[in-house]
Structure formats: structure tokens, C-alpha cells
Structure 1
Amino acid sequence: MASSHQPKNFDVFLSFRGEDTRRSFVSHLHKALTQRGIQTFIDDNLTRGENISEELLKAIENSSASIIVFSKNYASSSWCLDELAKIIECTKKVLPVFYQVDPSEVRKQIGDFGKALTKLEKKINDKTKVQRWRDALSNAANISGWDDKNSCTESELVQQIVEEILNSEFIQMPSNVASMQLVGINSRMEAVTKLLDIESNDVRMVWITGLGGIGKTTIAKAIYDRFSNHFKAKSFVENVREWSKTEQGKIHLQEALLKGISEDKNLRVSTIYEGTRRINKILCLKKVLIILDDVDNADQIETLLGRFEGFASRSRIILTTRNKRLLANRNCLSTYDYEVKELDEDEAIELFRKHAFPSNEVPEDYLELEKQAISYAKGLPLALKVMGCDLCGRPKLEWQDALDCYETNPLEEN
């Protein structure tokens, strides 16, 4: 019987010669990739044999990209060369790293690298396989990659590789927000994404404004999910308005922010002044992504971000608010505003039906009632969702009673 187990998909497959790099460069690279949320395959637990394993072949096939770390003994391993040939044959994106070996030696199979390959060839009777190896080496070495001689330190080389992976289209970072299930979210996310312009070197602040229940927080969470892996220091601070009502609440917000942008996940703040000082110290040193959700006055912003006296280059700050008057307080940062509009008629119908009629089949005698409910919601996603859930499965008479109640007592914004 065929197994029902589905092979795992990976963002990156790591190919390397263990004796050269497993405990040094590759271990640092693997740790950096996984810390940034990049699903990376490394063959730590595979049993080596004469031929490449089926598990390894599947891992290569199910990886979006492969990083090949060429080192001095890479060509002495038939296992590595079989891996390489498979990678060249089927991987969508190949990224070579030349670690303590000259790219021309790999491309032309000369020098010590070529000698290792020639020595291996003498043990192999299969000329077709050997030619496949040589072709794969030439192809891979001709691809633009990284030469460790061009990097000051190994840590800088690792950082360059990780940033390249994160900025590549083939990586689909996981999202905690089910964007595909959120009506109208994609176009709104794209609009905010353009304003953020993650690749620019300036510091940017983007305000997401609009009525309560319009979807500001949902958009901010989706943006955070999409881009948080581009930043080592990041924090999503929720319910700023509510927590800021007391001094202890403000300290709680500062601690939440600091835990995201600092190395210390157990830190504690004694006073608001101490918290602001510690936050400002970090903001000057690190590229950060910070989202402050539901801000309604300037004091809350100063408590959490200080007076904008210094942010590290390429930092991004997003604030959601109902209070557009806050935007009048422009500062020295590049500041942009995105006002979230109500859902259009088609979007409102789609969202309401998701919750009121899960089967997406609307009885004809409910169409007028549905139209009435949608008009009361005025394009607010939260209202459409709440009413849809409330009315789902109820008979017509109860719909009419509920609609009469909505008309006289509109849903409060929250």
C-alpha cells in the first residue's frame, strides 16, 4: 500500500562536504536560515551509503532553492556529486558558495579541486555518471554566487546569503493570517507594501487609518506576517489605546516592544522613563519592524518610540489609528498614510455570505433580507462578520427581528 505521508516542502536544500564545513561555515549558515523562518533541509541524520538515498532525492525535488557550498574536498565525494547533479537537474534556483576554493577551479575542474575529482573518477567505471558530474560542476560554477574571498568575515557572508534568500521571490514565508480567506485583504496589503518600500534605505513610518472595524489590525497583521522575517528585531504591539490607560499598562507595552527588538526575552521595566530610554538605545542600533496597533494620541507614541531622534537605516514603523489628527504631527521621518476604505458591494456580499451562508447557497426568499443586512453594515468588515455569524442558520422571522434591532441599535465600532 502506498504511504499517505506527504513529503515535506523546503525553502532551501543545503549541499556541502561534511568534513570541510559541517561544524563551521555550514552550521552557522543553517542556524541563521532557520532563525529567520526559512525552512532548510540539512542531512544531519541520514545514513550514508554508496548511492544517494531516496529521502535525499525527495528533499531536493521538494526544495524551492539549493545552496551548494563548494569546498576543497567537495569533488572527492560521489554522494555530493550525485546531489549536485540532481540539484542542477530539478531545482528551481541554484545558489553556489565558493568556500576556500576558487570558482575557476570548480568551473574548469583544475587545481586541488580537479585532482580530487580525478582521483574519484579512477574508482568509478561509469563514464556517463562521471560526465554528468562534470557537466553539473561547470553549470553550477557558472551561476552567480558568493566567493568567501570577497567577504570580510564568515558572519558577513552568512548574512549576505540569508538576505538574498529572504528577498527572493521563490521563498513564501508562512503567514499566521489566512490572507486567502480574508475578503479584500490582498489589494489593501499591496497598497501598504508599496508605501513601505522595504528595499529603500530610508526610515519609513506608515499610518494605517480608518474607522473602527474597517480592518486596520487585520491588514497590519498580514503585513507583519509577510515581512517580519526581513528583520531580526521586530515587534507587533497590540491594543495600545487600551493598555495606555494606566502607568502599569504603559510599562506592559514597553516590555512587549522590548522583548521583540532585544535579545533579552525575560527583561523587566521598572519605570516608563527607563523603558523609553532602553527602547531608544536599541532603535538607534538595529534595523527594526515595529507595529503599534490602535494608537489614539501622541503621548502613547512617545512612550514607545521616544521623539524619533534616531532610527537605524531601513527601519519600518507602522501605526494603526482611528485618529487622523495625529498625522498633523509630522516628524523628520518619511511618513505615509493609507486610509482603509469600506468594502465595495461585491466584497461586502462575499464576506457576509461566508458567515451567514457557509454553503454559499442563498435561498431566494432571503435575498432581500441579505441586502438589508449588508446595507446596515456600511461596508465594515467586522459588522458584516458579526451579523453574518449571528444570522447564520436562523429562520426568516428571526432574521427580520434581528435586522430591526440592528437598525435601531447599530453595531458599535470596536
Structure 2
Amino acid sequence: MSILLFKRKMYESKFIKKIVKVIGDKLRRTPLSVDPNIIGMNYRAENINLWLQHGSTDPDILVIYGISGIGKTTIAKFVYNSNYTRFEGSSFIENIKEISRQPNGLVQIQSQLLSEILIGRKVKIHSVSKGITAIEDALWSRRVLIVLDDVDHMDQLEAVLGLEYRFCPGSKIIITTKRAKLLKAHQVTMVHAIETLDPKESLELLSWHAFGQDHPLEDYIEYSEKLVDHCGGLPLALKVLGSSLLGEMIDVWKSALNKLEDIPNGEIISKLRVSYDSLQDDDDRKLFLHIACFLIGKDKDYIVKILDGCDLYTIVGIQNLIDRCLVTIDKFDKVQMHDLIRGMGREIVRLESKDPWKGSRVWRHMDSFKILVENNVRNMCYM
């Protein structure tokens, strides 16, 4: 009897240690910091939460897709915080595009993933190929939740997931990206395209940042609604502009709105411009600027006919712009662009020169009229 009792106590001891380890691992994992003023997040995240909680037997990959500043990282953090304790291990790797450009950036990403999944245990990695093997060894038997934020190239995915994506059944991988081509990546099982906020949600988000409450002050309603219209439902713009006007008088709001009609906010432009700067060549950049200045809302075939005549490779170029969320094609086959993306393109042209006639493009009627008048005067002087 004493031997049986001894074995039983040994079994109970091991069982208790296992429970303590599982609880300890969960306690050592902490939630991510998320903006407390998240508008409309519960219903926007509903389908992703259902997908995360679905007991599938295969590893699943979901892609969260949308333009810069629309809230891809925010929604990824929100669903991660709501679900990471359901998994045996979890990792959220932010700004992958930026990290991957650093020396040994992909190895750095692999090291972070392993450290988080293994709860702080250090694994030395000397190359990307060895890192892929180490990740496979660590994850084949663990149900994990992994978020890869701001991915813009397949080699970044392959450095973490490998070519075969050997993960434990029930594991979930979320990818956020501005690149449409990644939606076709191997084994992607679901795509979540984020929509802009509606006017009511936009006004609430702006109000939290400009007034510290969910609605504007009575005297500021008119200007708040105009600012909401300018932002076009883009959370980034609503946060930046709302915060910049916090505590300001009405005359400052009015002046700021007048300025935005001619000169977009620099902080917003710099974040939106990342997609433009990532275009492969000058041909695609010229195409984007032509559309931003002159051709929004025009039929795709019409644009191809016009710009192919300007020695641009328009069909493949438009596809490259779609890939980076710079343009869309609507159901009527017309090329469309978010107002703030258009403003970013026109600001690039405006900054080429202080004098409109020295820039590469002129789209405002008053500038065109001024150039024609001055040219006529100049020609008369030489007669």
C-alpha cells in the first residue's frame, strides 16, 4: 500500500506542477496596450473573434487588409487581447515591414516570436533558414496565436511560417497588410477588409480626441462635422486632427479647416505616403499622380487609353496601385481613390515648386488661369 500511495503522490505532484506551469505561463503573458477610445470595434471584430474561437483541426491564416490609417493594427490588438489566453502560446510582432529592413531584421523577428512563444526562453538564431527550423520545432506541438503586423512581402511571411506552414492543429495566424497580393498567399483561409467609419462613428472618435467626450461641444458642432467630412472616415486622420485642435478656440478650428482645403496635414500625409514611396518605379508613381490630379472617377479603359499614349504601362500600373491600396475599381469599372490619398498625391506635386507653373501638373482652375494669363502677358512683351 505504501508503494501505491507513494506513486499516487508522485503523480499528484507532477499534475499540480503542470497546472502551476500552465497558469504561470498565462500570467506571464500580458495584454497589449490599445487606445481606450475604440469606436465600433465590437461588431467589427465579431467575425474575427468567431474565427479565433472556432475549433478547427487545421492551422488557419486570416488577413486583415486596408489602407494606411484605417485601424488594421488596432483591430488586431483588440482581438489578440480578447483571445490570447485561449492558446498555449501567443506572439504579436508589430511593424514587421520596418523591422525587416534593419540588419538581420528577419532573424530579429524570428527571435522575438520564439521568445514570446517560449515565455522568455532565449533561442540563438544565426540565419533565417535555421530560424525557420527552430520555429517549426517550437510550434509543431503547441496551439498558438500569432499576429504578424504590417507585412508587405512574402519573404517576411516565409521567415516565420516557412514554405509549408507546419503548425499544430488549432493554431491561428493573423496578418495585417496593405498589400492585396498577400491575400492570395498560400493557406490564407479568411480575409477581413476593414471599412472606414461612418459619419456618426467618426464624429464620436473626433470628439474623444478634441473634447475628451463622445460628442462635440455645442458651439463646435458645425466645424466638427466639416472636419469629419474632410477625414472621410479614416481613424488616423480623425485622431490626428482632433488631437491637434484640443482646447483650441473656434477661430482656430475655422482657420485650420480653411488651411486643410489647400494644404493637407503633414503628419497624416507622411503616414499615407508610405504606400506611394513603396511603389516599384517612377512609372507607377507618375501614374498615381496623374490619377490623383486629373482622373479620379474616370472609366478604367478611358484612363488606359489616355495614359498608354503617354508611354506609361497603365494596365499593370493600375494593378500595382490597387495592390498598395492607393486606388480601387468600383462596380462601374471606374477608378476611385480616398479623398485623403488624393490629397497626399496633390501635395506631392504642390511641393515640387512654390510656383504652380514650375510643377509637373496643374489641376486647379485658378492656377491654370493664372499661368495662361501670365504666359499671354509674357508673349506680348516679346512682340
Q: Report the TM-score, using the length of structure 1 for normalisation.
A: 0.57
SS in 2 for 1:36: helix
Separation in 1, partners of 2:32, 2:118: 22
Q: Which amino acid aligns with 1:327?
A: L
Separation in 1, partners of 2:129, 2:14: 43
| Residue number in structure 2 paired with 1:225 | 81
1:13-32 alignment runs, 5 A limit = 25-26=15-16, 28-32=18-22
Partner of residue 345 from structure 1, selected from 182, 199, 202? 199
Partner of residue 23 from structure 2, selected from 33, 49, 54? 33
CA shift, 1:365, in A, is 3.3
Deviations, residues 208-240 of structure 1 (Å, cap 9, x unaligned): 011111111111111111111122222111101
Partner of residue 50 from structure 2, selected from 189, 194, 199? 194
RMSD: 2.7
Change (3 A) 1:253 1:340: same
Change (3 A) 1:213 1:367: same
Residues 185 and 219 of structure 1 are in contact (CA less than 8 Å); yes or no, is this contact kept in structure 2? yes
Instruction: Specify the structure having the higher radius of gyration (Cα).
Output: 1
| Residue number in structure 2 paired with 1:367 | 221
Partner of residue 376 from structure 1, selected from 230, 255, 278? 230
| Residue number in structure 1 paired with 2:302 | none
Partner of residue 254 from structure 2, selected from 390, 397, 400? 400
Change (3 A) 1:359 1:197: closer
Change (3 A) 1:243 1:25: closer
Which structure has more relative contact order (CA 8 Å, sep 6+)? It is: 2
Residues 174 and 226 of structure 1 are in contact (CA less than 8 Å); yes or no, is this contact kept in structure 2? no
Q: Which amino acid aligns with 2:57?
A: N
Q: Which amino acid aligns with 2:66?
A: G
The reply on whether 1:386 has 2:240 as its aligned counterpart is: yes
| Residue number in structure 1 paired with 2:126 | 270
Change (3 A) 1:309 1:191: closer
| Residue number in structure 2 paired with 1:292 | 148
| Residue number in structure 1 paired with 2:39 | 183
Compare 222-231 and 259-268 and name the one that shifted more: 259-268
Compare 377-386 and 273-282 and name the one that shifted more: 273-282
Separation in 1, partners of 2:73, 2:50: 18
CA shift, 1:202, in A, is 1.9
Separation in 1, partners of 2:202, 2:127: 46
Separation in 1, partners of 2:167, 2:14: 34
Q: Which amino acid aligns with 2:19?
A: L
Change (3 A) 1:221 1:312: same
Structure showing the higher strand proportion among its residues? 1
Q: Which amino acid aligns with 1:213?
A: G
The reply on whether 1:409 has 2:254 as its aligned counterpart is: no
Separation in 1, partners of 2:16, 2:218: 63
Residue identity (%): 33
The number of equivalent residue pairs is 260
Change (3 A) 1:365 1:208: same
| Residue number in structure 1 paired with 2:90 | 234
Change (3 A) 1:264 1:30: closer
CA shift, 1:284, in A, is 2.6
Partner of residue 318 from structure 1, selected from 174, 185, 201? 174
The reply on whether 1:258 has 2:248 as its aligned counterpart is: no
Deviations, residues 351-394 of structure 1 (Å, cap 9, x unaligned): 11111111556343322211111112111112111111110111
CA shift, 1:400, in A, is 2.1
The reply on whether 1:307 has 2:297 as its aligned counterpart is: no
| Residue number in structure 2 paired with 1:215 | 71
Deviations, residues 112-139 of structure 1 (Å, cap 9, x unaligned): xxxxxxxxxxxxxxxxxxxxxxxxxxxx
SS in 1 for 2:196: coil
Gaps of 5+ in 2: 1-8, 273-383
Residues 235 and 261 of structure 1 are in contact (CA less than 8 Å); yes or no, is this contact kept in structure 2? yes
Separation in 1, partners of 2:12, 2:137: 36
